[in-house]
């Protein structure tokens, strides 16, 4: 196809608009007479509410409504448990506004709606609440210990879920192993911190009885279904739009957050539009977080380093509620064996309640923890067996001819057995070794020593199940007036550049420039079947649905154009917005085709003349629109993956440590990744580098901290330190493209690829660097300088002196 753009670094359609400030986020939606909501949030991690007095707030000038659990009607109920699972022994979700108890600092207790945000916030402070604080066990291990203070009085041991999965026979493997390596690793809590926080704006139209909701969400269709259900109205009378959304990273896939139901409720009750924009403090205490897990992982190996079996037990911190079910822990437990064959696996986890912000997936979703556990264990195994870190990995990789590689008994987040579809793991490792300059490593280490520094090699290999079902749809229509291609899909974008890759996919089928494809996402009024954007699935699932729809549209165009041009369909080619007879200049535009395929009564323009009943081209037997045909060129199709595609990659880094200040400098960073066929390598690189930045946060900088009473200690950008451009190393990206056999485009997801392996890579580099100083093992993420200092014995020296 002459105009094929698949695989080309096409400029992103949205950039001009976003980079020149023309984006429209929820706070840019300025409805007449809009009212503003503000929330009173719990100042205690765990307390009984003994009284709430809202009289002063109600009397405050400009206040339109003050809401507590007592006047929100039937929505005073537990919010949905989105992903039920039999292993959830004590599932708990929060109520929109606390009733009787609060479970974390930041939980919504009351809502004020007023003429402006200032008034609303002033009135919030006039609400008097009496709390009776309860003792808490905040740290994950403490909350899981016997006798811990309970988050939910009726959930014993704070255990929200307990799950054991087996693939093969781990016990037998351990019985016959020559060697067992066992380590415990700990990964800390972080937060997505999207540039735009959450936001909701709702308008109730009492004439049409329609509820319009703008929501900074990753799941508009699902939000619509939920709202319709909650308010007991037809789905068709609820429209949810996710306009430009300033980042989500998983934090915005959860629904419902309390504000998402309370703001529409207030709009209906007050018969007035209501808006709420989350502030940064609220994002730290009211939006979900992720990562804390403690894994104890054991590898049973032969003396040659072949891993026969794996056992992993881990605790997963789910915060105060578990609305997203066991998704994170399930992804961690099913990714735990990484790229290695390891035929016998036993993995067990407990999801534990802690009196902290609830936990739901954040970019990576359990994979960074699993990657950290298995990769640090593989390094330890290599060390204990006296094998090279690369070699021990090579001996265990699933070989290219062994795919599909199924782990019977391990059920992935889509409910299906884990099954890796394709990959060239050994090649990826070799490319990483080459790109990082492994053959010059000793030389580089010596050079660092000469400068008083210690240099180490970091290595991390990851796999990533992407493109989960159940399905997404694509709608393709050629506009009869302009000839432009309209593409709709149900999921939504948070700035990834979906619109460009979806445009490329449709453009390739229809022979137009991607800039002539108009993509609408995240509007249930435009397309109302589908799920959401999460788990690196948009390109795979919506992309293939759009591809299928566009392919059918192409066939329809060719058939119609062949009729119009009196040529054989096989002679028609599509290019430059036209259908042309190959090798001739006889052509019709797509606009003409779209017009001609729509039988018309009225000749409203020149092109339309050819579609009227009395036009020569219309002469045919039977009715103008043949039985079974629809007017115009318009196709809707769906793609439902048989199971997830598995992307993978290998990161390597040269990490230099200053033994005095204990600071870490990443001298070089290589990311070899394979997400199958790339639609747009520039966007892929953007995803990888952005993901890497968030991975770097988890490796060296970011840790959400709570004190022993459950108060957040760093709920702001002053002390929650995300890496900036000054912290990001230059990343050398090496692309590999092993097509997925599972979908027509041969693609896999890439949204989380950059994030997963970074802590394992950088921290293994720190460990390698400090080996000559006898610093020991680094099995926690992130690593802060004072932790290196302690490993180097600095604290002991300081005490001794």
Partner 1 sequence: MAAYFRPTTLEEALAVRAAQPVTVLAGGTDVYPIRANKVGWGDMHRDDVLDISAIAELKEIEQTADRLRFGALTTWSQMRRADLPEAFAGYQAASRDVGGVQVQNRGTLVGNICTASPAGDGIPCLLSLDAEIELASARGRRTVPIQDFITGYRQTVCGHDELVTAILIPRPPAGAVGDFLKLGARRYLVISIAMVAAVIAADDTGVIHHASVAVGACSEVAKRLHDLEAALLGQPLASAPDLIEHAHFAALKPIGDLRASGHYRDSAARDLVRDLFVRLSAEPKRRAA
Which 649-678 residues touch partner 1, going by CB under 8 A? 660-663
Enter the tokens of residue 613: 């009943």
Q: Which is nearer to partner 1, 409 or 785 (CB)?
A: 785
Which 11-50 residues touch partner 1, going by CB under 8 A? 40, 43
Choosing from 17, 303, 449, 786, the residue that interacts with partner 1 (CB under 8 A) is: 786
Q: Which is nearer to partner 1, 40 or 756 (CB)?
A: 40
CA 225 – CA 220 distance, rounded (Å): 9
H and E: helices and strands count for the chain: 22, 29
- The distance of closest approach from Cβ of residue 289 to partner 1 in the complex, given in angstroms and rounded to an integer, is 17
Which 255-294 residues touch partner 1, going by CB under 8 A? 279-282
- 196 with 372: CB under 8 angstroms? no
CA 767 – CA 454 distance, rounded (Å): 10
Match 């790109």 to its residue by tokens. 435
CA 683 – CA 577 distance, rounded (Å): 25
784 binds partner 1 (CB under 8 A): yes
State the DSSP H helix or E strand holding residue 186, giving kind and residue range, or none if neither.
strand 179-187
In 3D, which of 218, 316, 365 has the Cα closest to residue 752? 365
Enter the tokens of residue 102: 């609060």
CA 420 – CA 397 distance, rounded (Å): 12
Choosing from 719, 741, 772, 776, the residue that interacts with partner 1 (CB under 8 A) is: 719
Q: Which is nearer to partner 1, 716 or 776 (CB)?
A: 716
- The distance of closest approach from Cβ of residue 42 to partner 1 in the complex, given in angstroms and rounded to an integer, is 11
Which 370-399 residues touch partner 1, going by CB under 8 A? none
**φ/ψ (deg, to 5) at 64:** -100, -25
Q: What is the DSSP string of 220-270?
A: HHHHHHHHHHHHT--GGGEEEE--S-S--TTTTT----HHHHHHHHHHHHH
CA 128 – CA 689 distance, rounded (Å): 47
Task: Give the interface segment with partner 1, choosing from 71-79, 210-218, 470-478, 708-716 (CB under 8 A).
Answer: 708-716
59 binds partner 1 (CB under 8 A): no
Q: Which residues of 302-312 are buried (b: 16+ CB within 10 A; e: fewer)?
A: eeebbbbbbbb
CA 499 – CA 493 distance, rounded (Å): 8
Q: Which is nearer to partner 1, 84 or 716 (CB)?
A: 716
- How many residues touch partner 1 under the rule CB under 8 A: the total is 37
Task: Give the interface segment with partner 1, choosing from 73-81, 269-277, 415-423, 718-726 (CB under 8 A).
Answer: 718-726
Q: Which is nearer to partner 1, 111 or 351 (CB)?
A: 111
602 binds partner 1 (CB under 8 A): no
Enter the tokens of residue 758: 């970074």
List residues bridging with 331 in a β-sheet: none
CA 194 – CA 437 distance, rounded (Å): 35
798 binds partner 1 (CB under 8 A): yes
799 binds partner 1 (CB under 8 A): yes
Query: Angle formed by the axes of helices 258-270 and 220-231, to 10°?
Result: 50
CA 440 – CA 433 distance, rounded (Å): 10
Task: Give the interface segment with partner 1, choosing from 224-232, 297-305, 516-524, 719-727 (CB under 8 A).
Answer: 719-727
133 binds partner 1 (CB under 8 A): no
Q: Is the peptide bond before 364 cis (omega within 30 degrees of 0)?
A: no
Enter the tokens of residue 560: 């119609």
785 binds partner 1 (CB under 8 A): yes
- 332 with 462: CB under 8 angstroms? no
793 binds partner 1 (CB under 8 A): no
Q: How far is CA 657 from the centre of its chain?
A: 32
- The distance of closest approach from Cβ of residue 705 to partner 1 in the complex, given in angstroms and rounded to an integer, is 6
- 423 with 402: CB under 8 angstroms? no
- The distance of closest approach from Cβ of residue 661 to partner 1 in the complex, given in angstroms and rounded to an integer, is 5
Choosing from 50, 71, 705, 708, the residue that interacts with partner 1 (CB under 8 A) is: 705
794 binds partner 1 (CB under 8 A): yes
Choosing from 17, 125, 182, 303, the residue that interacts with partner 1 (CB under 8 A) is: 125
716 binds partner 1 (CB under 8 A): yes
Enter the tokens of residue 121: 């916030």
Q: Which is nearer to partner 1, 282 or 317 (CB)?
A: 282
- The distance of closest approach from Cβ of residue 792 to partner 1 in the complex, given in angstroms and rounded to an integer, is 10
800 binds partner 1 (CB under 8 A): no
CA atoms within 13 A of residue 341's CA, in its CB half-sphere: 18
Per-residue x/- track, 82-121, partner 1 (CB under 8 A): ---------------------------------------x
- The distance of closest approach from Cβ of residue 723 to partner 1 in the complex, given in angstroms and rounded to an integer, is 7
Q: Which is nearer to partner 1, 121 or 737 (CB)?
A: 121
727 binds partner 1 (CB under 8 A): yes
Task: Give the interface segment with partner 1, choosing from 196-204, 362-370, 382-390, 709-717 (CB under 8 A).
Answer: 709-717
172 binds partner 1 (CB under 8 A): no
Enter the tokens of residue 29: 């939606």
141 binds partner 1 (CB under 8 A): no
In 3D, which of 34, 202, 57 has the Cα closest to residue 120? 57
Q: Which is nearer to partner 1, 677 or 711 (CB)?
A: 711
Residues that bind partner 1 (CB under 8 A): 40, 43, 121-122, 124-125, 279-282, 660-663, 701, 705, 713-714, 716, 718-719, 721, 723-724, 726-727, 784-786, 789-790, 794-795, 797-799, 801
């Amino acid at each position: 196809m002459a105009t094929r753009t698949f695989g080309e670094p096409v400029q992103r359609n949205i950039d001009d608009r976003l980079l020149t400030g023309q984006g429209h986020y929820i706070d840019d939606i300025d409805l007449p007479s809009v009212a503003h909501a503000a929330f009173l949030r719990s100042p205690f991690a765990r307390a009984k509410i003994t009284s709430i007095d809202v009289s002063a707030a109600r009397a405050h000038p400009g206040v339109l409504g003050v809401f507590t659990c007592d006047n929100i009607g039937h929505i005073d109920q537990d919010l949905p448990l989105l992903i039920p699972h039999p292993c959830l022994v004590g599932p708990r979700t929060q109520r929109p506004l606390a009733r009787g108890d609060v479970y974390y600092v930041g939980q919504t207790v009351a809502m004020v709606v007023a003429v402006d945000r200032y008034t609303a916030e002033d009135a919030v402070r006039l609400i008097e609440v009496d709390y009776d604080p309860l003792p808490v066990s905040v740290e994950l291990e403490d909350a899981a210990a016997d006798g811990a203070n309970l988050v939910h009085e009726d959930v014993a041991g704070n255990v929200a879920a307990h799950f054991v999965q087996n693939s093969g026979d781990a016990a037998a493997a351990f019985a016959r192993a020559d060697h067992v390596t066992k380590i415990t690793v700990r990964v800390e809590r972080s937060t997505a911190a999207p540039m735009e926080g959450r936001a909701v704006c709702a308008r109730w139209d009492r004439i049409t009885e329609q509820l319009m909701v703008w929501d900074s969400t990753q799941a508009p269709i699902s939000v619509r279904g939920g709202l319709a259900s909650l308010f007991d109205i037809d789905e068709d009378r609820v429209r949810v739009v996710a306009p430009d959304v300033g980042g989500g990273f998983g934090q915005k896939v959860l629904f419902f957050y309390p504000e998402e139901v309370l703001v529409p409720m207030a709009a209906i009750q007050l018969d007035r539009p209501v808006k709420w924009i989350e502030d940064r403090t609220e994002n730290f205490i009211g939006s979900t977080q992720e990562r804390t897990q403690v894994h104890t992982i054991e590898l049973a190996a032969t003396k040659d380093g072949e891993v026969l079996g794996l056992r992993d037990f881990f605790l997963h911190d789910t915060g105060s509620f578990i609305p997203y079910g066991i998704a994170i822990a399930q992804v961690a437990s099913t990714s735990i064996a990484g790229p290695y064959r390891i035929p016998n696996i036993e993995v067990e986890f407990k999801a534990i309640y802690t009196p902290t912000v609830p936990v739901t997936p954040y970019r990576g979703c359990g994979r960074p923890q699993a990657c950290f556990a298995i990769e640090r264990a593989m390094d330890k195994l290599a060390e204990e067996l006296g094998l090279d870190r690369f070699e021990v990995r090579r001996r265990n990789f699933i070989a290219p001819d062994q795919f599909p590689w199924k782990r019977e008994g391990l059920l992935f987040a889509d409910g299906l057995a884990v099954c890796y579809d394709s990959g060239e793991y050994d090649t990826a490792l070799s490319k990483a070794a080459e790109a990082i300059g492994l053959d010059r490593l000793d030389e580089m280490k010596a050079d660092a020593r000469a400068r008083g520094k210690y240099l180490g090699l970091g290595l991390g290999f990851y796999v990533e199940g992407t493109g989960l079902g159940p399905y997404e749809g694509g709608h393709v229509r050629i506009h009869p007036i302009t000839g432009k291609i309209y593409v709709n899909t149900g999921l939504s974008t948070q700035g990834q550049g979906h619109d460009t890759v979806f445009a490329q996919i449709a453009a390739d089928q229809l022979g137009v420039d991607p800039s002539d494809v108009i993509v609408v996402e995240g509007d249930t009024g435009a397309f109302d079947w589908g799920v959401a954007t999460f788990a690196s699935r948009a390109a795979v699932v919506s992309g293939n649905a759009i591809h299928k729809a566009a392919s059918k549209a192409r066939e329809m165009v060719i058939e119609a154009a062949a009729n119009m041009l009196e040529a054989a369909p096989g002679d028609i080619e599509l290019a430059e917005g036209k259908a042309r007879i190959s090798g001739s200049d006889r052509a019709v535009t797509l606009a003409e085709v779209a017009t001609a395929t729509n039988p018309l009564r009225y000749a409203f323009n020149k092109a339309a003349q050819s579609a009227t009943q009395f036009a020569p081209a219309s002469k045919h037997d039977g009715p103008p629109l043949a039985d079974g045909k629809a007017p115009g060129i318009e196709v809707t199709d769906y793609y439902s993956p048989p199971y997830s595609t598995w992307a993978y990659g290998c990161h390597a880094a040269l990490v230099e440590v200053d033994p005095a200040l204990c600071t870490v400098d990443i001298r070089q960073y290589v990311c070899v990744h394979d997400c199958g066929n790339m639609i747009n390598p520039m966007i892929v690189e953007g995803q990888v580098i952005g993901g890497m930045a968030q991975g770097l946060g988890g490796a060296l900088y970011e840790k959400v901290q709570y004190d022993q009473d459950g108060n957040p200690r760093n709920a702001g950008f002053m002390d929650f330190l995300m890496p900036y451009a000054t912290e990001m190393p230059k990343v050398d990206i090496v692309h590999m493209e092993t097509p997925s056999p599972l979908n027509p485009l041969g693609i896999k997801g890439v949204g989380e690829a950059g994030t997963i392996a970074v802590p394992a890579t950088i921290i293994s580099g720190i460990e390698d660097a400090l080996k000559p100083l006898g610093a020991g093992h680094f099995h926690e993420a992130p690593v802060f300088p004072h932790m290196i200092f302690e490993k180097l014995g600095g604290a002991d020296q300081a005490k001794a002196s």
